[in-house]
Amino acid sequence: MRRVFKASEPEAFTAWKALANDDWQPGYGDLQNPEKRSLHDALLNEQGGMCCYCGRIIALTDSHIEHFRPQEAREVLSLDYNNLHASCIRETEPGSPLHCGHAKGNDFDENLAISPTDEGCEQRFKYSAQDGAIFSEDRNDESALYMIKLLKLDIKFLSDRRKEVLKRVFDNEFLLSASHEDLEKLASAYRQPNVEGQFTDFAHVLSRYAEQLAGHEL
């Protein structure tokens, strides 16, 4: 899971909700373009083009608007911008691996859930470069274990892709020469977007792994 810093909701979305009157109250099912497109764009922009859960690079064409707290059981939050994010997979396809928002569905335990907006959420997980596996930083952290299972962050599809990016950055040559300062700089660098406001694929995983190496958390 990666940390998301919420910005202000788009003006078009705010204006649309303000159209509410005695005869009509807006619901998420009523939301259409251009307001829905504006909302989706805003979520992608504030997340730097990364999925709020796994950290893969996503775009309008391969992502969906995600309700962290499922709207079916919490209708009052269905249009709450702080509950909305952009997550992997636009449309589910038979045989394709489900993960992140589509894997979560309506399953949600308020007492265990970790939000992408929670401070320190990234540090509750750690990774292996050997196989791209994800673990809870604290083996007794029930919430971290719950989120890994809920979002299916440990499936082979994601592990293979994490392994690929980790091996590419943390190759043997780098590991033999990297100092503690190098690792700290790398961790910081991957937490910064480029000039276009975008992050690299699995940037938070790369940053977190650099932190693990700097702290000798292998």
pLDDT tens digits, residue range 40-72? 999 999 999 999 999 999 999 999 999 999 987
Quick check: 93 pLDDT over 80?
no
Quick check: 216 pLDDT over 80?
no
Secondary structure (3-state) at 21: strand
Q: Could you tell me the sign of the dihedral formed by the alpha carbons of 186, 192, 197, 203, in that order? A: positive
Exposure of 158 by Cβ count < 10 A (0-12 exposed, 13-18 middle, 19+ buried)? buried
**Domain locations in the chain as residue ranges:** 11-214
Quick check: 217 pLDDT over 50?
no
How far is residue 35's CA from residue 171's CA, in Å, rounded to a whole number?
45
pLDDT tens digits, residue range 97-125? 899 999 998 889 999 999 999 999 999 99
Q: Evaluate whether 55 touches 203 at the Cβ level (below 8 Å).
A: yes
Q: Evaluate whether 127 touches 209 at the Cβ level (below 8 Å).
A: yes
Identify the pLDDT of residue 218.
Answer: 38
What pTM does this model have?
0.92
